[in-house]
Structure 1
Amino acid sequence: MCFSASASFGAAIVLSVISVGTIKNIQHTSHFYFAGIPLIFCLQQASEGFLWLSLTNSSYASLQQPMTYIFLFFAQILWPTWIPFALLKLEKSTKRKKFESILLLIGILVSCYQLYLLIGFPSEAKIIGHHILYQHDYPVRFGNYGDLLYFSATIIPTFISSIKRMWLLGLFITIAYVITALLYTKHVISVWCFFASIISILILFILQGIKNKDKQISDFAKV
């Protein structure tokens, strides 16, 4: 998380518990990708916990570079593809699937470009103002278009989805991102993940709704 190693590891523990709940609510293999989001958040927070240790304790200095790149892999490369793919796997509406497939393609393009940047240009992490600041020597030509495409791939699918209450997830993520961008302009990547636990609880809530709906359909079919 954004405040300390203990906060990051604490968040990872909470997320691991939530991930057990989401995985238990998997009814079909198509649910796995959505249910796995809290577990990925857990690994992401754990990586930042080790990064905090490497930045504050010279005994862990060797972990600084690998943990920086592991965290950035989750934040910048994995999510733009994983989230739209996870929602596409849940979707049953053919019409909505077409729109979500387009957003998935956008996400894949964003991920590929971010991977190119992460491999081709140096990145480093520093502690500034009780937060981790990730600094990149990326070319600026992508600029705000990158943020817009990232947002399109990760947020818009939640509003398009036919899954009940999925829009709540999108609304919360949007509000969380706006608050973070306004209050912690230079620390968005790190501070935004503060909301990962609440996002994961919403995912559990949505999966339970899907499970209950499937059970009702199954019970009705038996009548």
Structure 2
Amino acid sequence: MCFSATASFSAGTVLTVIAFASLKRTTKPKERFFALIPLLFALQQFAEGVLWIILPSSDYTQLEKICTGLFIIIAQIVWPIWVPLSIQKIENKKFSRQLLTFFTGLGFIISLCLAWCFINYEVKAEIDDYHISYHQIYPDIFKGYLGYLYVLVTIIPPFLSSFKRMWLLGLAILISYLVTKIFYANYLISVWCFFAAGISIIVYFVLSEIKDNVTRIYSEVIT
């Protein structure tokens, strides 16, 4: 979250509830990866909630590093592979699944590169104009090319799915990215994650669509 500790903790709590509700909508183990997306966002919001409290003080350096690290690890290392992989696991159509497998592989490479950057370069969080800003001293090549590839592997996969509501998820993520890029470019990581966290409620409705399809097919078989 990008505005206050209260907002971050509130968002984290709501997202946790959505995550458990989404898990209850799953019909197969492979759907759990997708259902856990709101919970990962919840962890990010809780991490930022703690950062809001401790950043004004210099007495919690170690906790600050842990929370900053947790947020960045999920944002830059987990999401590039988790998004395409979780969608690929629930996809039924062969061609769409093949495309999603490609994006999963690309996401894995991006995650490895960003993990290398995270290990070798310092990441610092600070409160700036009612937002949390993350300063990363990464090489320019990683900021440029990897940044564009990151956007591709986190936005395009929903549009490759055969599930209609997944397209709604992709469209919402795309719009949120454009809004963040235009109006909050200096706080892109924090603000975009905030928007995406709210959007992740669509995960529940996608899983509901899948469950309804399974129920419909089962009913057609037995009648």
Q: Normalising to structure 2: TM-score of the pair?
A: 0.96
Contact residue 131 and residue 187 of structure 1 kept, 8 A: yes
Contact residue 53 and residue 60 of structure 1 kept, 8 A: no
Where does residue 39 of structure 1 map in the other structure? Answer: 39
Q: Deviations over 1:43-77 (max 9, x none)?
A: 11111111222203455443111111111001000
SS of 2:164 mapped into structure 1 = coil
Contact residue 173 and residue 196 of structure 2 kept, 8 A: no
Where does residue 215 of structure 1 map in the other structure? Answer: 215
Where does residue 3 of structure 2 map in the other structure? Answer: 3
Contact residue 54 and residue 62 of structure 1 kept, 8 A: no
Where does residue 20 of structure 1 map in the other structure? Answer: 20
Contact residue 81 and residue 111 of structure 1 kept, 8 A: yes
- Residues 197 and 80 (structure 1 numbering): CA distance in 2 closer, same or farther, change over 3 Å? closer
- Residues 144 and 58 (structure 1 numbering): CA distance in 2 closer, same or farther, change over 3 Å? closer
Where does residue 188 of structure 1 map in the other structure? Answer: 188
Where does residue 115 of structure 1 map in the other structure? Answer: 115
Where does residue 96 of structure 2 map in the other structure? Answer: 96
- The AA in structure 2 aligned to 1:220 is E
4+ aligned runs moved over 6 Å, structure 1: none
Report the Cα distance in structure 2 between the residues aligned to 1:63 and 1:13, rounded to whole angstroms. Answer: 21
**Unpaired stretches in structure 2, ≥5 consecutive residues:** none
Q: Deviations over 1:171-198 (max 9, x none)?
A: 0000001101111111010011222343
Report the Cα distance in structure 2 between the residues aligned to 1:205 and 1:159, rounded to whole angstroms. Answer: 16
Report the Cα distance in structure 1 between the residues aligned to 2:54 and 2:60, rounded to whole angstroms. Answer: 4
Shift of 1:31: 0.6
Report the Cα distance in structure 1 between the residues aligned to 2:142 and 2:198, rounded to whole angstroms. Answer: 31
Q: CA RMSD in A?
A: 1.2
Where does residue 105 of structure 2 map in the other structure? Answer: 105
* Number of equivalences: 223
Report the Cα distance in structure 1 between the residues aligned to 2:5 and 2:59, rounded to whole angstroms. Answer: 14
Q: Percent identity?
A: 41
Report the Cα distance in structure 1 between the residues aligned to 2:11 and 2:81, rounded to whole angstroms. Answer: 23
Report the Cα distance in structure 1 between the residues aligned to 2:145 and 2:60, rounded to whole angstroms. Answer: 37
Matches within 5 A, 1:68-83: 68-83=68-83
Matches within 5 A, 1:50-199: 50-58=50-58, 60-199=60-199
SS of 1:70 mapped into structure 2 = helix
- The AA in structure 2 aligned to 1:66 is I
